Amino acid sequence: MKNTVTEDSFEASNEEIETVPVAKAEAIESTAPNPSVESEIRSIMAALLGIPPDNMDEHRSLEDYGMDSVLALQLLHHLQARISSEIGMNDLNKCHTLQDVISLSLNPMHPEHERKLVPDTP
């Protein structure tokens, strides 16, 4: 029997309905593909690397494109200004491909990109 919703009633089958914790649902939502962010990141990186955006393979190593520490710093500046101020250099250093940068930008606080907090020294 299908789940049916009407104005007057709600019928549900005997099938179990999976519930998802709010935090997990938010994490799923925040990592969902976002074409505008992906396009923006692709454009930023292509401009920094001096290649057409369409020529970038999202699974190719950034080093293969000539990404170095200077370009990484420039990329970080653009990402913080245009995508998310939550992104840090330590996070960006963990990215090896365009897809990694996109994933980080869509969810900078994801546990995979978790930052280690350094206690203040007196």
Quick one: pLDDT at residue 121? Answer: 52
Separation of CA 13 from chain center: 37
Q: pLDDT tens digits, residue range 33-51? A: 567 889 999 999 999 999 9
**Structure-model confidence comparison of residues 29 and 122, the more confident one:** 122
To which CATH superfamily is domain 33-113 assigned? ACP-like (1.10.1200.10)
Report whether 1 contacts 11 (CB < 8 A). Answer: yes
- Average pLDDT of the residues of the chain: 74
Cα-Cα-Cα-Cα torsion 85, 48, 66, 93, nearest 10 degrees, comes to 0
Instruction: Enumerate the H helices of the chain as residue ranges.
Output: 22-30, 35-49, 69-82, 89-93, 98-106
Record the pTM: 0.61
Quick one: pLDDT at residue 122? Answer: 54
pLDDT(110) > 60: no
Tokens describing residue 121 = 């020294």
The mean per-residue pLDDT over the stretch 113-122 comes to: 44
d(CA 72, CA 95): 10
pLDDT(75) > 80: yes
Q: Please measure the distance between the N-terminal and C-terminal CA atoms of the chain and give it in whole angstroms.
A: 65
The CA–CA distances, whole Å, from 8 to 2, 4, 11, 17, 21 equal 17, 11, 10, 21, 28
Q: pLDDT tens digits, residue range 54-65? A: 999 999 999 999
